[in-house]
Amino acid sequence: MPGLMGRLARTVMAGRRGRFVRWYGGGGDDDGGGGSAEDAQARELIDRQLKLAPAGGHQVLIVQPYIKWGANKDRSTRPEVKADESRSLVRTLAEWSVTDTLLVGLTSYRKHTFFGPGNVDAIALRVARDRRITAVFVSVNVLKPIQHQHLEHRFGVPVYDRYLMVVQIFRRHAVTREAKLQVALAELPYIWSRIRGAQDGYAERLGTEAGQIALSGKLMYDDKKDLLKAYEKKLKKLVEKLRSHRQHLRHNRTNKDLPVVAVVGYTNAGKTSLVRALTGDVGLVPKDCLFATLDVTVHGGVLPSNMTVLYVDTIGFISDIPTRLIEPFVATLEDAMFADVIVHIRDMSHPNVIVQKSHVEETLKNLSINPELLNSVIDVGNKVDRLDNVERDGSSVFISCTTGEGLDELKKKIESQIMKATGRRTIKIRVRTGQDEYEWLRTHTAIVNINTDGDYSVMEVIVTQSDLDVFKSLFIRKKINN
């Protein structure tokens, strides 16, 4: 199969000629690893193992495997639904396209070849006959090194698993230094497994051109190991530094006593659209793609009572997220742990919405979130404008970020939850209009209503207990003492 092997070799070798997309840039230490020769060498090794696509992307044949029966059969999600998500993953990358999708039923996943020989032959023949295909996406969590090398040898084009596909997307959508560093750190365990797999003799035993490509490069195993160890140490140091910075920012938000609402949910459920609808921030441009938001962003909004709140837009969830890529999720979801209220938004038009809800709830439970916060999560069903009928369960708020349906009800519920969670309360205070007490309340509280009574104003305000104590100390006790 020399023609197919040539296609694989040309694609892989293109990266060495500089056609692969460079992600880190050439900045200083804060830019994701610095500009030293050792760092550049480490990034070259990582990029090669991650199979970063050429500038023109790939035309992909998606292979969606599933267990047909037995204890390992997934009874919660149909293969067709999984295939839809796989197509969405590919299409999230602008230059990539899907040529076709194959559903392949198996009785088990083979240790060394993943598929049985009949299925491998059938897929290889499909690739050979369709010259458009430049890559195959086997939509499973992570292929073992020996499986990966075997399939690339047989198919003659680069093979991507879910890990490699999600990495392509993460690299595109990571904007801030912290997000880039988190993704870079999450890539390293995968790289370790690949070079160890080659060292254990997988490629040598195959004795193929694909195996030789996998092992190619000037660095021997010990050199690669030392290079990656040094690079990993530097990344961890930079991540810890930025994590401390984030904790400092959280502390500042706490000192300002602004309520924080974390918006969580599956990728493409409408988190950014909801934050935009609640804040009126026209600068937020929602995108109809997976992982449109990888960085945590914070946006100010005003509730019906005129109370100012901060909405935190977090990274989206996805099914079967590769374990080695959990770290970027956890890092961004840490902000949810310190919120006053969590809003869980769901895409009600998605066929797998019930399974997605369970997945998000289970993940939140594993984040060591305060039980009171976890038990008071506001469940929001989005995109109801796409449905003819919605079964209302009484515990969820159903909305449409497109039409605005249900948003007023949601704002009221968020306000109510904030009042309970933060100990805020509504009080009325009669003060002289325009005097110090009046101006202090306007500055430090949320003004619900003001009624003027001659030289006085009756101010209905929302206050925290600490603000009320300060007000009493500054004005009421001071008057008594005088």
User: Among 413, 409, 268, 281, which residue's Cα sits nearest to residue 350?
Assistant: 268
267 known member of a binding site: yes
402 known member of a binding site: yes
> Residue 17 has which token pair?
């000629």
314 known member of a binding site: yes
294 known member of a binding site: yes
383 known member of a binding site: yes
Place of tokens 């056609």: 19
366 known member of a binding site: no
**DSSP code for 418:** H
295 known member of a binding site: yes
201 known member of a binding site: no
Amino acid sitting at position 30: D
The separation between the first and the last C-alpha atoms of the chain, rounded to the nearest angstrom, is 97
Q: How large is the C-alpha radius of gyration of the chain?
A: 27
CA distance 462 to 107: 62
335 known member of a binding site: no
Q: b vs e for 161-170, b when ≥16 Cβ sit within 10 Å of the residue's Cβ? A: bbbbbbbbbb
SS3 at position 33: coil
Amino acid sitting at position 295: D
CA distance 140 to 151: 13
Neighbouring CB atoms inside 10 A of 405's CB total: 13
- Asked whether 155 and 123 are in contact (CB, 8 A), the reply is yes
SS3 at position 361: helix
User: Among 359, 355, 361, 357, which residue's Cα sits nearest to residue 77?
Assistant: 355
401 known member of a binding site: yes
Tell me how many helices (H) and strands (E) the chain has: 18, 13
270 known member of a binding site: yes
163 known member of a binding site: no
384 known member of a binding site: yes
- Asked whether 230 and 180 are in contact (CB, 8 A), the reply is no
Given strand 425-432, what is the order of strands in its sheet? 425-432, 456-463, 446-453
> Residue 264 has which token pair?
């969580």
265 known member of a binding site: yes
CA distance 235 to 241: 10
CA distance 463 to 426: 7
CA distance 262 to 41: 39
Neighbouring CB atoms inside 10 A of 72's CB total: 12
CA distance 414 to 259: 10
382 known member of a binding site: yes
230 known member of a binding site: no
Which helix (H) or strand (E) element contains residue 372? helix 371-375
Phi, psi of 243 (to 5 degrees): -65, -40
293 known member of a binding site: yes
271 known member of a binding site: yes
269 known member of a binding site: yes
Binding residues: 265-272, 291-295, 313-316, 382-385, 400-402
Binding residues for Mg(2+): 272, 293
Binding residues for GTP: 265-272, 291-295, 313-316, 382-385, 400-402
